[in-house]
Amino acid sequence: MQKPFLAIDRVTKKFGSVTALRSVSLNVGPDELLVVLGPTGAGKTTLLRTIAGLEAPQEGTIQMAGEDVTSRTPAERDVALVFQDFSLYPNWTVRRNLEFPLRAPGRRLSEDEIAQRVSWAAELLKIAGLLDRRSQRLSGGEMQRVAIGRAIVRRPRVFLMDEPLTNLDAKLREALRVELVCLRRELKTPMVYVTHDQVEALSMGDRIVVLGEGRVLQTGSPEDIFRRPVSPVVARQLGQPAINLLKVERSGGAWVADNGVAVAAAGEGGGNSMILGVRPEDIQPRGGEREARVTLVEDMGPTKILLVDWGGCNVHIVAPATADIHQGDTIHPQVDPERIILWPEQTI
């Protein structure tokens, strides 16, 4: 791997008696988009604010380009942070919002240069027509574009994004997500992108860090995290509908669940009591031995999500939209044995 641009080493941050980050370490390469994924309260925002310099960690160090910046101010770190709630300067026009970071002391830019950068950013984010509008008269999507614009005009050393798309409606979110990825490729600036949205994490991230209760649970490529999660907690973070988790015992060459259903053939090695995870799209509705009842069918358009009562446990199955399956039907689910994930029982 390339020498990391941003290196966070065993950072711990406490707020009174609450520990938000527990010895978090991670690296971001010079041209990498690192997604930090985790549920609410996992410490994602705290991590970002600590990188930005808005919070000082109690322990650990933060390095940027090989320099220790742990005790430096946000201004000295030269990072750009886009907040979830847009945080534009109220009562100012879009243009003034974009110019503000360019007029910072010590940044001697000519008026021409400022105007040029503002129009460049406005062009890129398609807000050129809004430059003279006051910030509080913008829609949510426009506000977030301006906020991103305010971050990119500066050409910072790192981009930090705190769930920038969460407060937008679904359609806009998708459009802006694509734009962000393209934008970052163009700017070639490292980015740390915090989200709780698995679609954003999987589609945008070069690598993903999964955070839970202030700890790094797993770091890896989207493929790694999705296919080889280190624990059921990580596995549950990704996938819609969520992964099926079953307690299984080895019995007669098969993994058998509590209810006596033989889920899949058991290979060699591993313990006898395991947690078995299988994603809903890795179960076929037909071809298995044991029967199951379909209790609910959710038609999602291209697919159908089935909630199935399989000998007493509820299992989600993703079936093609063309499958002729209805509520109350009896099916015979079959698990793809290549796709199952096993963890020792105590990891739950």
Partner 1 sequence: MVSQRTGLLKYGFVGPALVVLIVLNIFPLLYNVVLSFTDAELVGGGARYVGGSNYSRVFSTAEFVEAIRTTAVFVAAAVSIELCLGFCLALALQRGFRGKSAILTVLLIPMMLSPAVMALFWHQILSGDYGILNHILAAVGLGQPEWLTAPGLKLISILMIDVWMWTPFMMLIALAGLNSIPQYIYEAAEIDRAGAWRIFRRITLPMCAPLLALAVLLRTTDALKQFDLVMAVTGPNDAATQTLSALLFQKVFGDGKTGLGSAYACVLLVIVIALASVFTRYIDFIQRKQGKTQQ
7/24 Cα distance (integer angstroms): 11
Three-class DSSP category at 251? strand
Token pair recorded at residue 52: 């930005």
Query: Is residue 20 at the binding interface for partner 1, with CB under 8 A as the rule?
Result: no
Evaluate the CA torsion angle 97, 103, 109, 110 in order and state its sign.
positive
Q: Which stretch binds partner 1 (CB under 8 A): 86-94, 110-118, 256-264, 338-346?
A: 86-94
* Nearest distance in Å: CB 125, partner 1: 17
Site size for partner 1 (CB under 8 A): 27
Q: Which of residues 135-164 bind partner 1 (CB under 8 A)?
A: 136-137, 150, 154
Q: Which of residues 189-248 bind partner 1 (CB under 8 A)?
A: none
The DSSP letter of residue 114 is H
Three-class DSSP category at 316? strand
Q: Which stretch binds partner 1 (CB under 8 A): 27-35, 85-93, 206-214, 287-295?
A: 85-93
347/270 Cα distance (integer angstroms): 14
Q: Which of 105, 252, 301, 302 binds partner 1 (CB under 8 A)?
A: 105
Q: Which of 11, 50, 51, 83 binds partner 1 (CB under 8 A)?
A: 83
Q: Which of 85, 179, 206, 224 binds partner 1 (CB under 8 A)?
A: 85
Query: Is residue 89 at the binding interface for partner 1, with CB under 8 A as the rule?
Result: yes
Query: Is residue 75 at the binding interface for partner 1, with CB under 8 A as the rule?
Result: yes
233/211 Cα distance (integer angstroms): 10
Query: Is residue 15 at the binding interface for partner 1, with CB under 8 A as the rule?
Result: no
* Nearest distance in Å: CB 67, partner 1: 17
Query: Is residue 81 at the binding interface for partner 1, with CB under 8 A as the rule?
Result: yes
DSSP string covering 141-191:
HHHHHHHHHHHHTT--SEEEEESTTTTS-HHHHHHHHHHHHHHHHHHT--E
Neighbours of 100 (CB within 10 A): 15
Binding site for partner 1 (CB under 8 A): 52, 54, 73-75, 78-81, 83, 85, 87-91, 100-101, 104-107, 134, 136-137, 150, 154
